[in-house]
A and B are shown apart, each in its own frame.
Chain A
């Protein structure tokens, strides 16, 4: 497959929407209020969400080029 198919593009855009949601204030504010320790969970949450988004992108893109 030379170009990403339309389904592939739809998946990417859905992933983009998910990532935007994960990195945006409504969720950020919620996570920020989860303070069990003296430290905010926010940085940890951001790194985990970020890593998950990268993993999903890699899975999506490499699956395509491997085909």
Chain B
């Protein structure tokens, strides 16, 4: 069954299936029912990362170098963890600027530089061609193993003629496939839906094939993993392979390889193609960030068992790179080896397809197109459309790249094992990482810096990896490796500057990255970017800024006619109509009208998608006058967020302050209102109080005037009333004046040392008559006698009389009782006046000292008669406070009513205070 015809039939049948799937995918895309619009398909297409190198080479590397093969997949796992951060940014930029490849991306970042784009494209071509050769070699070798087993494959390969080499034919079939499905659109930034669908299918096939071998080896060849590992345990020299000491370079080599795989995953042209250019929806990154690592874990799950099984089999298994094939073959199976071969074919062709598309786009857009534009601009103005040319260039590039890969494989491919070529390529493309990643986050990176870094990194890579490879192939003198060029030992390519004991890849990565990053940063710091570079740097670093999306950034001027002519010449009528229809209404088109900013932007994007951003730039500049992009406006958009946040923060602070202030104002306003109300009441009360005596004075005076016949007795009585009422009037006015003086602080006091007890007696005498009239029982208790204090004699007497008067007014109606007590309290004397009236509730106690308060209270008393102006207590408290004492209300301990207590400090002994010293207001 294992005849050449069957094998070839299966292989080419499988390729035909790919054509069908791709054609179906493209048709579905045309119908608007995309096959690839799912995160799972996206994740599977990223699995193009797993090439024939994974499929055959992982087992080989595991057999030779232990667990180091896993690093090639752990690095991308780390990179995919950052996908929603880093790759999302790249996807956003690429879709907005219609980026077509990694060379285009780097060129666009550094001011749409033609030279930088060409440099990257050239480097990619040099790094990747061997990698394509590696895939073709894998197909040839696996085919040879399959046909010749149990003979070794090498013997037959040497003699074969090139037209009998199957990989040549595979390469040609692939060329047809890529031309059909990779160059359908002129716009390379558009998705290749059919191709991506085919790649996703290939990823599934290689996973299934590899896992089938794994399951066969573990569960059929051996009875489960424990049986396999038990046999391994009996052979220590195999068992020891999986330790860290089998890893080249040990811990350093481990870290170096991890970083290398991380960087290469982001910078490999095919990975950039599937990750960024072919991304349909940013949201797919979320699923892919774990699904793709899971895919890698699964495809690596059986690598170690297969390697062990192959090593246990010994010589019969042949080369470790072919264990995957030789193990099922050695068991005499027929179908499984064929499946494995198809799996390997999937892995190889998938990589070749995507890589070739990416490279051909770079070659046409970054290398050929700028040359054509530079040399043939005059001719093109008469030559009509360029669209056909461009596709032609790409198709030729595809065939040439594949042939180059085949030639490399046919001529020097034998000098390296599979993994070696792959790792050399990895280290080569990793040189793009500084320009790419630093440029993505550091606005200050310049074109000169990136160019210097790339060239330096690339040269170091050539010296430390590529040339030694040639030396090993015998193309160069081997002493170059062992003694250094011209015998200079510190220039030995694998031990540069005496750095020994590192594995060659970590060693090359260290020196190349030092040169690359160092020059990128160093030169950037000392070079001046052009305005366009600054603009692009701002657009790239601020790509995820929400405001950037919706803004049209063109500021140049041109006419619609000039733009249309340009687009038709380069992109053809169809594309031109589409661009114009998206931007303006058909009826608005006037060839001499100025083109809108939106139209210019769309035109440049359309050109960029087909020709690359550098060439698009050159073409647009040929018709647009004035500075095309406004750096200031971009920067202002990017800075808006931070400014807005700061502004909002300040606004918030201010509004909080305002709330606090308005609260204060509100409470102050309420106090004022209350005061105003009290004042009104006071005025009314004062008027009333003044009117009452005035009315009676006037009435009696009129009687006296009008009645001559009045008996003397009556006349005397009337005159007495008039005098009494006048006194009341003056007292009231005196009180109001006192209050005014107290409030304004102009009350003059004459403090002397005096005996409070004597003063109390004197006051009692003054009110004795009044109390007698009211029938009040006065109880006096002078516990401190004498009680020397400092105060104004008259004012203090006024206060005490006021307190006694108040008490007598509020005492019980039937059996009024008042009690005056004077006693010492620590360093003070206290004089309290109690009554047996209703008392004052706790919350009213402070309010009785408010001016006018008493007025209100007095109106409400059931007795219905005014008890005074209500100014007595406020005035009393004011006086006491001026003297340095206190006056307050408390419950009467003896009589049960209210108790007003005044407290004055005891006078210092031998007081020398004279009458002349004055105490004025506080």
Contact = CB atoms under 8 A, between A and B. Distances in A.
A3 B251 CA distance: 38
Interface string A25-55: 1001100100101111011001100110111
Given A19-B81, A23-B78, A42-B67, A28 B286 contact: no
A54 B286 contact: no
Interface string A1-31: 0011000110011011001100111001100
A19 B76 CA distance: 12
B81 A15 contact: yes
A29 B67 CA distance: 13
A38 B82 CA distance: 37
A12 B283 CA distance: 15
Contact of B74 (A13, A35, A40, A46): A46
B236 interface: yes
B255 A24 contact: yes
Given A12-B85, A19-B78, A53 B293 contact: yes
B67 A24 contact: no
A28 B254 contact: yes
Interface residues of B, number: 38
Contacts of A42: 66-67, 242-244
Given A43-B70, A51-B297, A29 B251 contact: yes
B438 interface: no
Contact of B233 (A29, A38, A51): A38
B78 A65 contact: no
A19 B258 CA distance: 12
Contacts of B294: 54, 58
Given A38-B240, A53-B81, A57-B293, A25 B255 contact: yes
Contact of A61 (B232, B251, B255, B287): B287
A61 B239 contact: no
Question: Which of B78, B82, B286, B544 has the most chain A CB atoms closer than 10 A to its own CB?
Answer: B286
B429 interface: no
Interface string B244-286: 1000000110110010000000000000000000000001001
B229 interface: yes
B872 to A, nearest CB: 70
Question: Which of B67, B71, B85, B304 has the most chain A CB atoms closer than 10 A to its own CB?
Answer: B67
Contacts of A54: 77, 290, 293-294, 297
A65 to B, nearest CB: 6
Given A16-B81, A42-B242, A50-B74, A4 B286 contact: yes
Nearest to B293: A54
A39 B251 contact: no
B531 interface: no
B37 to A, nearest CB: 15
A50 to B, nearest CB: 6
A30 to B, nearest CB: 10
Contacts of B82: 12-13, 16
A24 B828 CA distance: 83
A59 B258 CA distance: 24
Given A29-B244, A39-B239, A43-B242, A50 B77 contact: yes
Interface string B65-109: 011001100100110111011000000000000000000000000
Contact of A57 (B67, B81, B233, B252): B81
A23 B258 contact: yes
A4 B70 contact: no
B289 interface: yes
Contact of A23 (B66, B74, B229): B74
B301 interface: yes
B78 A13 contact: no
Contact of A25 (B84, B229, B251): B251
B244 A50 contact: no
A12 to B, nearest CB: 6
A39 B242 contact: yes
A12 B84 contact: yes
A9 B84 contact: yes
B229 A28 contact: no
A25 B255 CA distance: 7
Given A23-B258, A47-B297, A61-B287, A39 B229 contact: yes
Nearest to A20: B78
Contacts of B304: 43
A46 B84 contact: no
Contacts of B80: 57
B78 A40 contact: no
A12 B86 CA distance: 11
A46 B290 contact: no
A41 B258 CA distance: 19
A17 B170 CA distance: 43
Contacts of A35: 243
A57 B290 contact: yes
Contacts of A38: 233, 236, 239-240
Given A23-B74, A47-B297, A64 B243 contact: no
Contacts of A37: 233, 239
9 contacts: A19-B77, A25-B255, A32-B244, A50-B293, A50-B297, A51-B297, A57-B80, A61-B84, A65-B283
Closest 4 CB pairs of A and B: A40-B243, A25-B251, A32-B244, A57-B290
Given A12-B82, A37-B239, A62-B286, 16 more contacts: A19-B81, A25-B251, A28-B244, A39-B233, A39-B239, A40-B240, A40-B243, A42-B244, A47-B301, A51-B297, A54-B294, A54-B297, A55-B290, A58-B290, A58-B291, A65-B287
